[in-house]
């Protein structure tokens, strides 16, 4: 999953026209924990990864999530 497709997935999930890689999920995009859970499911379906709950507090920005996906898809 590249950066562009992640941005599209996040935008779609959170009902935003446009998001940027440095946007913070909660403060800037007003995501709820329920949105984050749906987003994670969506990403898991697209990538085949399992993202443990322990990783979630570390996803402050879209970039954090992107880095996590990249490091686990291409370890």
Partner 1 sequence: MRRLSGQEQAFAVMNHAFPMPAVIVLKFITGPSKNAIRQSLDHLQYRHPLLRASITKLKKEFWFQELNPIISIPLEEIIRKNDGHWLEVVNVEINKKVIDNPGPLLKSIYLTPSKEKEDTELLLVFHHSIIDSVSLIALINELLTYAGQIDKNITPVQSTTLPVAPIIESILPGDYKGIRLLFRLIPFMAKQLKDEIIYNKGSKKLKDLPIPLTSDNNVLTVVFTKETTTALIKWSRQNKISLNSLIAAAMLLAIHRRYYFGKDRLMRHMNFANLRPYLLPPVNGENEGCYVSMMRFMLFVAANSTVEEIAFSLHQKINKTLKKGDKFIFPLLSKMLIKQTLRKYNSRVSQTLFSYAGAIAIKEEYDNIKLSGVHSFVANNHLGPIISGFGKICFGKLSLDLNFLSDEVSGDKAVDFANEIKVIMEELILNK
In sequence order, the β-bridge partners of residue 61 are: 24
Q: Is 9 helix (H, G, I), strand (E, B) or coil?
A: helix
Q: Does 53 bind partner 1 (CB under 8 A)?
A: yes
By CB under 8 A, name the one of 34, 48, 71, 75 that touches partner 1.
Answer: 34
Q: Does 58 bind partner 1 (CB under 8 A)?
A: yes
- Cβ proximity to partner 1: between 3 and 58 the closer is 58
Give the largest CA-CA distance in the chain: 32
* Structure-token match 């399992």, residue found: 50
- The contact set with partner 1 (CB under 8 A) reads 24, 26-27, 30, 32-34, 37-38, 40-41, 44, 50, 52-58
């Amino acid at each position: 999953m590249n950066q562009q497709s992640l941005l599209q997935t996040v935008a779609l999930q959170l009902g935003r026209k446009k998001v940027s890689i440095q946007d913070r999920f909660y403060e800037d995009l007003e995501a709820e924990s329920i949105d984050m859970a749906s987003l994670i499911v969506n990403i898991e379906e697209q990538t085949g990864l399992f993202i443990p709950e322990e990783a979630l507090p570390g996803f402050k920005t879209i970039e954090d999530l992107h880095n996590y996906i990249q490091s686990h898809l291409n370890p």
